[in-house]
Structure 1
Amino acid sequence: MTIPLSSPDITEAEIEAVTAVLRTSRLSLGPQMEAFEDAIAEYIDTPHAIAVSSGTAGLHLCIKALGIGEGDEVIVPSFTFIAAANALRYERALPVFVDIDADSLNMSPASIEQAITPKTRAILVVHTFGRPAEMAAIMDIANRHHLFVIEDACEAIGATYQGRKAGSFGDAAVFAFYPNKQITTGEGGMVVTRRPELAAQIRALRNQGRYDSADWLQHAELGYNYRLSEINCALGFAQLKRIEPILQQREKVARRYQQALADINELVLPSTEIPGIRISWFVYVVRLNSDYTEIDRDSIVTTLTGAGIGCARYFAPIHLQPSYAAWRNSAVLPVTEAQASRTIALPFFNRITEEDIAQVGNALRTALLQIQNR
Structure 2
Amino acid sequence: MSDARFIPYGRQSIDDDDIQAVTDVLRSDWLTTGPAVERFEADLCAYTGARYGVAMSSGTATLHAAMFALNIGPGDEVIVTPMTFVASANCILYQGGTPVFADVDPDTLLLDPAAVEASITPRTKAIIAVDYAGQPCDWDALSAIADRHHLALVADGCHALGARYKGRAVGTLADITVFSFHPVKHITTGEGGMAVTDDERLATRMRHFRGHGITTTAAEREKMGGWYYEMVDLGYNYRITDIQCALGSSQLKKLDGWIVKRNALAQWYDAAFASTDIKPLIHRSGLVHGYHLYIVRVDRRDERFKTLRDAGIGVNVHYMPVYLHPYYQGLGYSAGLCPVAEEAYEKIMTLPLWVGMDQGDLERVVQGLTAELL
Query: Which residue of the other structure, out of 286, 300, 312, is the alignment partner of 1:276?
Result: 286
By how many angstroms is 1:263 displaced? 2.8
By how many angstroms is 1:331 displaced? 5.7
Q: Distance in 2 between matches of 1:249 and 1:233?
A: 24
Query: Which residue is equivalent to 1:329?
Result: 334
Contact kept in structure 1, 2:215 and 2:229, CA below 8 Å: no
SS at match of 1:95: strand
Residues 86 and 331 from structure 1, CA distance in 2 versus in 1: closer, same or farther, beyond 3 angstroms? farther
By how many angstroms is 1:158 displaced? 1.1
Q: Distance in 2 between matches of 1:327 and 1:133?
A: 28
SS at match of 2:245: helix
Q: Distance in 2 between matches of 1:78 and 1:107?
A: 9
Partner amino acid, structure 1, of 2:280: L
By how many angstroms is 1:50 displaced? 0.5
Query: Which residue of the other structure, out of 82, 95, 99, is the alignment partner of 2:99?
Result: 95
Contact kept in structure 1, 2:80 and 2:102, CA below 8 Å: yes
Q: TM-score scaled to structure 1, two decimals?
A: 0.94
By how many angstroms is 1:362 displaced? 1.0
Partner amino acid, structure 2, of 1:364: L
Residues 17 and 115 from structure 1, CA distance in 2 versus in 1: closer, same or farther, beyond 3 angstroms? same
Question: Cα deviation per residue 1:89-134 (whole Å; 9 max; x = unaligned)?
Answer: 0111000001000111101000000000000000011111110000
5+ residue gaps, structure 1: 289-294, 370-374
Query: Which residue is equivalent to 2:224?
Result: none
Query: How many pairs are equivalent?
Result: 361
- Where do residues 162-177 of structure 1 align in structure 2 (5 Å cutoff)? 162-177=166-181
Q: Distance in 2 between matches of 1:141 and 1:261?
A: 36
Question: Cα deviation per residue 1:155-180 (whole Å; 9 max; x = unaligned)?
Answer: 10111111111121221110000000
- Where do residues 111-260 of structure 1 align in structure 2 (5 Å cutoff)? 111-212=115-216, 215=227, 217-260=229-272
Q: Distance in 2 between matches of 1:164 and 1:6?
A: 26
RMSD: 1.4
Query: Which residue is equivalent to 1:262?
Result: 274
Question: Cα deviation per residue 1:236-286 (whole Å; 9 max; x = unaligned)?
Answer: 000001111111111111111122232322x102334x3221101101111
Partner amino acid, structure 2, of 1:270: L
Q: Distance in 2 between matches of 1:216 and 1:58?
A: 27
SS at match of 1:314: coil
SS at match of 1:275: coil
Matched, 1:343 2:354: no
Contact kept in structure 2, 1:102 and 1:339, CA below 8 Å: yes
5+ residue gaps, structure 2: 222-226
Query: Which residue of the other structure, out of 7, 12, 19, is the alignment partner of 2:11?
Result: 7
By how many angstroms is 1:327 displaced? 4.2
Residues 279 and 167 from structure 1, CA distance in 2 versus in 1: closer, same or farther, beyond 3 angstroms? same
Partner amino acid, structure 1, of 2:291: W
Partner amino acid, structure 1, of 2:341: T
Query: Which residue is equivalent to 2:357?
Result: 352
Contact kept in structure 2, 1:319 and 1:327, CA below 8 Å: no
